[in-house]
Amino acid sequence: MSMASTVSGVGHPPEVERRAGGPAPTAPRTPRTRATPNQSPLLAQEISSRGCPRAPEEGVLSVDVQHLGPSNATRGPPLMGEAHRCLNIILHEHATMVQFEHRGRRPSVNGEAWVAPSAVLVGDVNVASGSSVWFGAVLRADGAPIRVGNDSNVQDGAVLHPDRSAAYIGSRVTIGHGAVLEGVYVEDEVLIGIGALVLEDTRVGRGSLVAAGAVVPSGMDIPAGSLLMGNPARIVGSVEPRHQRLIQEAWRHYRELMESYRRLAPPTG
């Protein structure tokens, strides 16, 4: 198997298929509500038929994590039952990201970065220019800060959750789908493969490649240009020119892909 197939994070996002279901049950017709400029007609119909509240104009819900629950949200009335369900629908339609303030700290996303609507950012998180955080990713800085440098990408389902030490992600770094990173220091132009686990207090040297599924033990200091594989991960050699091309192609591909998504949705900030 080639290294290109072993390492994650360079493919195109999977296409989502729309599958037609069976005939919908007949329901009484309800008056249609005109959609606002940023609101889909389908959502407007949902609001009209169920009496849900209007979507928040800013498109981002900031929740007090100390009072997070079915009946409490900051700067709003208690939300119960159907109204809470409707709020979730509105949030998914309008939010550019879901962000949680924690201990007075809230995420900061550069206006030239992009965060997917279903990504979650908590606390002291900073995402720099040109970087992207993809669908279902979680950047959870409720233990220590998270910093993502320029032109990096945190792909779908990846988790950054530092505990004792800050998580620092350098520039032009690719973090593959489903990877988990704790309090780590990742230097520039590194590729972390699909499903890799990089534990607390690890330093990944510039230009290194951590293969898919590798488990990097806590406290490991990885020299620049290293190739790691296995569980526990070990250095199996140096990054070769073909690996270097893969690292460059990965971050460039996601930088370009991010721009296409930014045209579909406003940038976060």
**Tens digit of each residue's pLDDT (9 = 90 or more) over 186-198:** 999 999 999 999 9
How confident is the model over 219-244, as a mean pLDDT?
97
Q: What is the mean pLDDT of residues 141-152?
A: 96
Cβ count within 10 A of residue 147: 18
Task: Pull the structure tokens for residue 218.
Answer: 């806590």
Question: Chain-wide mean pLDDT for the chain?
Answer: 74
Q: State the pLDDT at residue 241.
A: 97
For 24-62, the pLDDT digits (tens) are 444 455 444 343 333 333 333 333 334 444 444 444 333
Count of domains observed in the chain: 2
Per-residue model confidence (pLDDT) at position 3: 44
Same-domain pairing of 164 and 106: yes
Q: Using DSSP, state whether 235 is helix, strand or coil.
A: strand
Predicted model pTM: 0.66
Q: Give the pLDDT of residue 36.
A: 39
Q: Hey, what amino acid is at 15?
A: E
Residue 101 pLDDT: 72
42-47 — which CB contacts under 8 Å span 24+ positions?
43/89, 43/90, 43/93, 46/86, 46/89, 47/86, 47/90
Q: Is residue 27 part of a domain?
A: no
CATH number for the domain that contains residue 189? 2.160.10.10
Q: 178 and 121 in one domain? A: yes
**Residues 241, 194 share a domain:** yes
The burial class, CB within 10 Å (0-12 / 13-18 / 19+), for 14 is exposed
Q: Does the residue 8 lie in any domain? A: no
| Residue 204 falls inside a structural domain | yes
Residue 104 has a pLDDT of: 76
Torsion of CA 194, 198, 203, 207, to 10 degrees: -10
> What pLDDT digit, counting tens, does each position of 84-127 carry?
333 333 333 444 557 767 777 889 999 999 999 999 999 999 99
Same domain, 118 and 44: no
Please give the average per-residue pLDDT across 169-177, as a whole number: 98
Cα separation, 132 vs 100, in Å, equals: 18
Taking Cα atoms as reference points, which of 261, 264, 263, 265 lies closest to residue 253?
261
What residue numbers bound the domain in which 71 lies?
38-95
